Amino acid sequence: MSLVNPDLSIERSGVSFPIEELTHFIFGGPEATKKKRWLISLLDVNKNPVFTNKDNYFISRDKYYVRTLEKMKKLIQIKKQYNIDEDDWKFLLLSTGEPMLPTMHDLLFVSTIEGQMSREQSEKWLPLAKDYAIFGCYAQTELGHGSNIRRLETTATYIHETDEFDIHSPTLTSIKWWPGGLATSTHAIVFARLIIDGKDYGVHSFVVQLRGENHKPLPGIDIGDIGPKFGFNNIDNGFLRFTHVRIPRDQMCMKFSKVSRDGRYLTSSNAKVVYGTLIIGRIYVVERTSFSLASALCIAIRYSLVRKQGNDTKHDPNESIVLDYQFLQYRLFNGLSVVYTFLFVGKWLRNLYKINEKKIREGDVSIMADIHSISSGLKALCADLAMGVLNDIILACGGHGYSRFSGIPSIVDNYARSPIVEGDSTILQLQTGRYLIKVFENAKNGRPTPATLSYLKDYLRILSERSKVTTWEELTDPNEQIKALTHYHTRLLAKLISNLEETSKTHLQGYEGAKSDYMIDIINVSRAYCYTIIITSANEGLESIKLTYSNIYPTLRILINLFFSNFIIKYSGEFLLDNYFNSNQIKIFELGIKNCLEKIRPNAIGLIDAWEFSDNTLNSALGRYDGNVYEALYNWAKLEPLNLAQERGEYVGYNEVLKDIYNREYLKGINKSKL
């Protein structure tokens, strides 16, 4: 093992809190930490070389895909050998450091079986799927339609004579496009329009076998890979076209809607639960955001602590550690505030989902619309904020960050899908905003509102409130934070409703038509609500661990205060507009942000070391635990195939092209002495 860069050793010795305690918080406690470390040890490349990521930057896409399959095979063996549960399995897949095919299978295919199939159907399909005897994908998006699920074109026509569904792609735009894991999958959950006797009953889900014994596509199925992508290039996103493919009637997912033998369509009042799988996917994006950002910040902060450049004084001959520059702290520490704030949000959202699942099992779908709205809006906002953090990280790492050896491009490329996967962020925010309009109208008229929006019943009092506190400590008090966000969100929502009501008086399409004129405002209302959820859940989550994790509480408090303060400064115009805050209070927030940066600086290394990313997971020359950045960059460059060829005396491109361009006679004598 190489010696640790002395600059990093000094930084680690100066952390003010026990890093182990922060690790316990991240992983869920001492026992969970012990379990997570054991799981990470299973990926040790010395024990299992198949998990190495070292040459990922050099291999072709087809080899990269096969390498991923080899890893998947070993991972499944490990899961079965040690009987690893679902939560630990997700962590194990994340810890490989790259997208993994079982994630798509488990997250979408298995979840659909569990959530949308009847008990009899689940008893047939679930054991096969959980044992990986079959491998499935989620075929919803089409070439011509993505977020607008209601307009999907693939059809499933019931055939009375044979008791089958005819699955068909009637148009070019109805071809399924983007399903992850399609080349690997033997089966797919296919979303198609249910047609019975010429009547369209809307989009439903079906399980369709795609491949036979030797992985050959079945008759009527045209299937393939869609080609190189921005990221996820080890994952086989594909296309899928059906030409009158017959499946048995009982392969329609029939937990909430079904078709009888005589062709009668039967549905329950809970039919909207079929979209529950989308909620799972959106929650996963929120949860994974902290992990992705933490890994990128781990690279950037470690690099920024060993990189030296310039200095602030004329008298100091030594160059400064770049993380000592305030502007770089601002870029990276704001990212840290997002990581830890989202960590609380992810835990809160997962708990809300579990509550909803329990209610659904009891036949209660009362909070289904609420969790759909929250997960949609949070997924969109979290992905948007995360992309901003990743852009700051790119800029913070300078030229070396542009190298794929930094590991940053891979993280950015793979995360960049988040604003569009599982629903386009703009569409999701519009859905959330429209839901909020409906809830506010109910609140104004004395009708029931969901618990998460119960404060809207008291909207007149909220709108009349103004902040009266005058110190940093008072301004960042958890209750004051929540009050500020609640006021901000309620004011934007009330203003939107007022504008809609006024515009609808002259709009040709009335109130509903007026909404198209206020799309930007609807999105802003959605974002304001989600910021309110974020600040509320983060503060409540932090206060709940104050005693258990007392040593790390002060640092986490600073991070959440920083997140909140950045929000206030970003939208200070809105707060000043209605005098909720005055200019003196805004100045306090500006100074407070700088003070937060100073307090975070000594603990920066601890805040990212606590995640315990292995060097193989990060796959970064800049983010190595030992900090030997420059040695790693040079050694990795030596592995470039162009350089390996040169070491063998082969000069790629010379015989083919360059020898006909260069003046070889001139080059032959250029270094000879003239004496």
- Give me the active site residues, please: 422
Hey, what are 170's tokens? 């009637």
Strand pairing class (176-177; 257-259): unpaired
Q: Are 596 and 329 in contact (CB under 8 A)?
A: no
Can you tell me whether residue 352 is helix, strand or coil?
A: helix
The answer to whether 419 touches 387, Cβ cutoff 8 Å, is: yes
Q: How many CA within 13 A on the CB side of residue 472? A: 15
**Neighbouring C-beta atoms of residue 443, cutoff 10 Å:** 20
* Cβ neighbours for 42, distance < 8 A, ≥ 6 positions apart: 48, 78, 82, 92
DSSP-derived 3-state class of residue 209: strand
Q: Which residues are annotated as a binding site for FAD?
A: 141, 180
**SS3 track for 621-637:** CCCCCCCCHHHHHHHHH
Per the CB < 8 A criterion, the answer to whether 640 and 429 are in contact is no
State the DSSP string of 269-334: TTGGGGGHHHHHHHHHHHHHHHHHHHHHHHHHHHHHHH-B---S-SS--SPPBGGGSHHHHHHHHH
Strand pairing category for 199-209 and 187-196 = antiparallel
Total residue count of the chain as it appears in this document = 675
For tokens 């930084």, name the residue. Answer: 11
User: Measured between alpha carbons, how far is 106 from 117 in angstroms, rounded to an integer?
Assistant: 15
Binding site membership: which residues?
A: 141, 180
Q: Using the 8-state DSSP alphabet, how is residue 142 labeled?
A: B
Closest among 96, 63, 76, 101 to 183, alpha carbons compared: 101
C-alpha span between 68 and 71 (Å, rounded):
5
User: Whose structure tokens read 């020359």?
Assistant: 621
**Degrees, nearest 5: CA angle 256-282-235:** 100
Nearest to 348 by CA among 273, 435, 287: 287
